[in-house]
Structure 1
Amino acid sequence: MTEPVDKGRAAITAAPVDLLVTRVGELFEQEYGIADTELLQVDYRLAALLPLGGGEAVTTPGHPAWRCFDHQSPTHADGVGYLPVSMRGERRGVLRVTPVTDARLAELAEVATALAHELAAVDAGTDVYRVARRSRRLTLAAEVQWELLPGRSRLRPSFSLAGQLEPAYAVRGDSFDWSDDGQRVWLATINGMGEGVVASMLTTLATCALRNARRAGISLADQASLADQAVYDLHRGEQYLATLLLELDLRTGLLTAVDAGSPRLVLLRDGEVSVQPLEEQFPLGMFEGTNYREQFVQLQRGDRLFMISDGVIEAAGSTERYGQTALDRMLRRTAPMTALDAVRSLLGDLRAFVAGDLTDDAVVVCLDWLGPQPETPPAESVRAAAVDHRADRLPQDRQVSGE
């Protein structure tokens, strides 16, 4: 590691929260003779790169800044360098530096990665970066929903994950959540009924109830039951949520699912699209004391899963709905893309279909299982242990599908 990189990390860590990019620029000027350093943050819609200091947004596909963002690698064009500002798979934007030579990009990229980590660390305590990454004002309901999210993308050796809400600046009741501990990843997509803040507050209650239950270490079915009871206790069945809960064993590919009147689960395997036949159970909060059942799907290495709300299928163009046929075609086209690019492409196609913003909420989450990590035990022995562990708490009629 070079001395300028060490200095860069130290400068970022010591900088006031509003001067992170300024301190990086000062270091780059001192060490590399770079006259201008600008942070371009991706907006809530994943459609524009917005300069932190104001100015013209970068929206043109194929622009070097977008090539850097899309390919997650430093890009050099006409004396200008573009560096990915990303951490743990979460893409925050691009750092634009000028003038610079191609030979320096690798060193500069290390500092850009350090900047991404520091931006994530300070984001909750300042509005500087959040304000600068919106191209227009969020509705109050959308503000609530975005505050709930765990991020928009996540990358580990065994999986890749991405999600997005639409309409990004006016979403109401749709949301998603995820968490992983290195051995498992949990996902939830939520479609809260109602409009505006009423829908967003219902989704907030369900998300926090699900997190509370998950962090108690209980089964997926019990997580659903506890969240169901929390919603019912407050609304007595007058408001409820369609929810899909998943838990993936990253060592074995065994997927556990609870379908509570939920968005659909779609599998992309070897270029073929199939909707997974899950048992649709009552939405969370519809009735008191609902008992939920788990189902199982065995994934194969390289499988891609989409969690897709009805707002995608039901989106209306000038003469027809988007529908399952258009969805299947688009999902097949995403096969060579990263998870985040797959989500962006699907929602971009949807916006083009409706010729503008969606009128109903839509959520898309994409999960790629890349196979067990090399240091984990052999898959068969781990999977056998997982099945044995469940045997004492699962009735015999809970079927494992996809095997």
Structure 2
Amino acid sequence: MGIEGVPPGEGGADRSEGFGERLLGIPLDLAHRLPPQSIAPLVAEQVAKLGGREVTIFLQDYTQELLVPLPGSGLAVTEPEPIDDSPAGTAFLQGRVVEVPRADGVRVYLPLVAGSDQMGVLGCTLDASDDDVRRLLGRLGVVVAGMLASKQSYTDQFFKVRRRQPMSVAAEMQWSLLPPLAMCIPQVEVAGALEPAYDIAGDSFDYALNDSVLHVAVFDAMGHDLHAATMATVAVSVFRHARRAGISLGEKYAFMDQAIADQFGPDHFVTGQMMHLNISTGRLELVNAGHPAPLLIRERRVVRQLEGPTTLPIGFGGRPPRVREFELRRRDRVLCYSDGVIEERDADGQPFGVERLIDCVHRMEQTREGVRGAVRWLSRTLKDERGGRTSDDATVFLIEWCGEGAVVRRPGMSRPVESSDAIPPDAGTR
């Protein structure tokens, strides 16, 4: 019956459960009490109701190079898929459905997005695909991503899948501390990458969006060992504490400076940058504590370094810092990086240097990928340019201010990518 005894269809609201609601409702109803190992069979069961088979859940590995299949009852466990050269990778990077025609139907890949964090990719095979199937799969993918994100705090299963080689204790500390590697909303996008992924120690970054202000910090603790990781952990934790207290950039620096000095003594320090970006106006406030100056990228070119008065590294008891202010234009990008990027020496013993970094940035900008894909490309290219060596931590963090009033794109509703345009012809050679 409808409202006040009026049957559905006779003037009352229809509250009967349709197919789509049942498809999404079952995992939502079970999510709060479902153990992590039961996600796989539930997903396979729900996809089968849409006519799907050979269901695979892929998670991104720590190097951001592979999509690794999650094992589980009802799932098809395949070989890992390269992010840069596969339909699954294209779905992951572009955040949209990719379809590959096959003799027995069509292989469909769709991104698993929790909030704006790309968890991985869901793959399945269908006899045929249409807009209704894509819509339901897309919404199911959001539910599945949310379940994976919420359950990963209760299990090591997902971390073990993503880990492809042994990880140092210092790196374990850093990865557990990091926010999601990317955040993409209409007004602003951010993404970061750390190398070496399995042995990172003193580098870290953090961000948070509070109302209209994006808070960003990039840190590099001295050394490359467990002690450096401990300092970086304290730096990030104190930054978060200060951020949540609602104090200014200058006050944050003073608060962190005192904490590092008290905990580690006068011979230890952390370099860093702290920023406030008003995502409504593009106004950027910056404090630089002994860190390399960020690069401002405008219309695909580096137009300047955001230089200014640099205060002492955190922990050295510097004077109150001067806060620099910059006005960003719509689609401006700001690239932060640690000194491990430019101080690594090539085969001839020469430092990599800022100019070579800028050259890599210009090549990155010609791809005009979203920030997540751009950061991945830049991190891998920098490593290749340095001959594959990373003797120090090397971190890049990219911010793009998209401008106020940017349009929200509904996920799963755009044209699916066909296999012919999913992978550029030179994707494997860049």
Residue 380 of structure 2: aligned partner: 348
Residue 6 of structure 2: aligned partner: none
Asked if structure 2 preserves the Cα contact closer than 8 Å seen for 1:188 and 1:244, the reply is yes
Instruction: Give deviations 1:316-339, integer Å, cap 9, x for gaps.
Output: 332243322221122123331111
Alignment equivalent of 1:95, drawn from 108, 115, 122 = 122
Q: Does 1:107 align with 2:126?
A: no
| Runs of 5+ consecutive residues of structure 2 not aligned to the other structure | 1-17, 72-76, 408-430
Distance 1:100 1:188, change over 3 A: farther
Alignment of 1:73-222 (within 5 A): 73-77=96-100, 78=102, 79-103=106-130, 104-222=133-251
Asked if structure 1 preserves the Cα contact closer than 8 Å seen for 2:296 and 2:306, the reply is yes
Instruction: Give deviations 1:297-354, integer Å, cap 9, x for gaps.
Output: 1111111011111111122332243322221122123331111111111111012123
Residue 389 of structure 1: aligned partner: none
For 1:35 and 1:69, locate their aligned partners in 2 and report how far apart those are by CA, in whole Å.
Answer: 20
User: How big is the shift at 1:278?
Assistant: 2.2
Bigger shift: residues 312-321 or 156-165? 312-321
Alignment equivalent of 2:327, drawn from 298, 302, 307 = 298
Distance 1:100 1:334, change over 3 A: farther
For 1:206 and 1:128, locate their aligned partners in 2 and report how far apart those are by CA, in whole Å.
Answer: 29
For 1:24 and 1:240, locate their aligned partners in 2 and report how far apart those are by CA, in whole Å.
Answer: 48
Secondary structure class of the residue paired with 2:82: coil
Distance 1:55 1:139, change over 3 A: farther
Distance 1:255 1:323, change over 3 A: same
TM-score by length of 1: 0.88
Residue 4 of structure 2: aligned partner: none
Residue 35 of structure 2: aligned partner: 16
CA RMSD across the alignment: 1.9
For 1:62 and 1:34, locate their aligned partners in 2 and report how far apart those are by CA, in whole Å.
Answer: 24
Residue 90 of structure 2: aligned partner: 67
Asked if structure 1 preserves the Cα contact closer than 8 Å seen for 2:224 and 2:392, the reply is no
1:22 maps to a residue whose letter is: P
Instruction: Give deviations 1:116-161, integer Å, cap 9, x for gaps.
Output: 1222222222111111111112110000001111110001111001
Alignment of 1:216-365 (within 5 A): 216-273=245-302, 274-287=304-317, 290-319=319-348, 320-335=350-365, 336-365=368-397
Asked if structure 1 preserves the Cα contact closer than 8 Å seen for 2:36 and 2:155, the reply is yes
Asked if structure 2 preserves the Cα contact closer than 8 Å seen for 1:244 and 1:259, the reply is yes
Bigger shift: residues 332-341 or 149-158? 332-341
For 2:294 and 2:393, locate their aligned partners in 1 and report how far apart those are by CA, in whole Å.
Answer: 17
Secondary structure class of the residue paired with 1:92: strand
For 2:41 and 2:345, locate their aligned partners in 1 and report how far apart those are by CA, in whole Å.
Answer: 45
TM-score by length of 2: 0.83
- How many residues align structurally? 373
| Runs of 5+ consecutive residues of structure 1 not aligned to the other structure | 376-403
Instruction: Give deviations 1:143-184, integer Å, cap 9, x for gaps.
Output: 000111111000111100101111111101000000011300
Give the % identical residues: 29
Bigger shift: residues 50-59 or 208-217? 50-59
Asked if structure 2 preserves the Cα contact closer than 8 Å seen for 1:182 and 1:250, the reply is no
Residue 55 of structure 2: aligned partner: 37
Bigger shift: residues 16-25 or 239-248? 16-25
Asked if structure 2 preserves the Cα contact closer than 8 Å seen for 1:87 and 1:117, the reply is yes
1:198 maps to a residue whose letter is: H
Distance 1:362 1:247, change over 3 A: same
Asked if structure 1 preserves the Cα contact closer than 8 Å seen for 2:91 and 2:111, the reply is yes
For 1:27 and 1:153, locate their aligned partners in 2 and report how far apart those are by CA, in whole Å.
Answer: 28
Secondary structure class of the residue paired with 1:32: coil
For 2:40 and 2:121, locate their aligned partners in 1 and report how far apart those are by CA, in whole Å.
Answer: 12
For 2:231 and 2:149, locate their aligned partners in 1 and report how far apart those are by CA, in whole Å.
Answer: 27
Bigger shift: residues 213-222 or 87-96? 87-96
Distance 1:100 1:108, change over 3 A: farther
Asked if structure 1 preserves the Cα contact closer than 8 Å seen for 2:59 and 2:119, the reply is yes
For 1:219 and 1:313, locate their aligned partners in 2 and report how far apart those are by CA, in whole Å.
Answer: 30
For 1:127 and 1:239, locate their aligned partners in 2 and report how far apart those are by CA, in whole Å.
Answer: 34
Distance 1:112 1:60, change over 3 A: closer
Residue 28 of structure 1: aligned partner: 47
2:117 maps to a residue whose letter is: E
User: How big is the shift at 1:60?
Assistant: 6.6
